[in-house]
Structure 1
Amino acid sequence: MQNVVLIIHLLLALGLIGVVLLQRNEGGGLGMGSGGGPAGARAQTTPLAKVTWVLAAGFIITSITLTIFAAENAAGTSILDRLSPSAEPASDAAPTTPGTELNVDDLLPPPAADGSSAPLTPKAD
């Protein structure tokens, strides 16, 4: 059922885009150049405008329906709660706090090319 509503939703979206692009440009943005007449006069409703309203209403209804489907399928927990830790700490190791899982080998510089260990203190120039 959810897939059917999703397909109808996508078809309504494409239809709405097409109908809006077919409409006549009124010219001027934000109500300027509305064709004269009194400031509160309404334009005549065209069949294309009526189709736009029907498609928009259907789009909103399918949007709400898909939201209801998504809410019903939600587990009620955060996705972060469902993530499992990648590595469990060893039982004999001391417990660590988050952010302190550092490996000492990651902090040491790599060995020199000749096989000797690199100095741990920086050189003074």
Structure 2
Amino acid sequence: MENVILIVHLILALCLIGIVLLQRSEGGGLGMSGGGVMTGRAAATAMGKLTWMLAIGFIVTSMTLTILAAAKTDGASVVDRIPGATAPAEPTEPAAPQTPAGGADLLPPAPAGDEPLVPRAAE
């Protein structure tokens, strides 16, 4: 069933490309030259009607293929289907910062209260 809809979808896509390329250009993108897409008057030509029918068929087959593909999924991630792929490790708590050998005399003391944040002069 899905293969048949896919083949129809591809045929519609090719026909839609062909019919759009066969239409004459009216110039001025999006109907800026007067009539066209932006006006209330619909296209009455056979080519315009055929384009609309092919576009509607293309959208319907696209939605159908999307629904069929979504129904076939089992809710698993795509990464789970790759052989040899491992799940990321559980996050752990960061380790406490370690002081270098020699103690805390290498680190300046933290300012307390209203003490200004200026570097201390070497003693």
Q: Which segments of 5 or more consecutive residues in structure 1 lack a partner in the other structure? A: 88-96, 99-125
Which sections of structure 2, spanning at least 5 residues, go unmatched? 91-123
Q: Match for residue 47 of structure 1?
A: 46
Q: Per-residue deviation at 1:42?
A: 2.2
Root-mean-square deviation (Å): 2.5
Q: Is the 8 A contact 1:27 1:33 kept in 2?
A: yes
Corresponding residue for 2:101? Answer: none
TM-score when normalising by structure 1:
0.59
Q: Does 1:22 align with 2:11?
A: no
Q: CA deviation at 1:29?
A: 1.9
Q: Percent identity?
A: 57
Judge conservation of contact 1:26–1:34 (CA < 8 Å) in 2: no
What is the CA–CA distance in structure 1 between the aligned matches of 2:62 and 2:40, rounded to whole Å? Answer: 32
TM-score of the pair, normalised by structure 2: 0.60
* Cα 1:13/1:44, change in 2 over 3 Å: closer
Task: Determine the C-alpha separation between the residues in 2 that align with 1:82 and 1:45.
Answer: 51
Of structures 1 and 2, the larger Rg is shown by 2
In the alignment, the residues of structure 2 paired with residue 15 and residue 68 of structure 1 have an alpha-carbon distance, to the nearest angstrom, of 23
The amino acid of 1:53's aligned partner reads: W
Aligned residues: 86
The separation in 2 between residues aligned to 1:64 and 1:86, in whole angstroms, is 32
Partner Cα separation in structure 1 for residue 10 and residue 81 of structure 2: 31
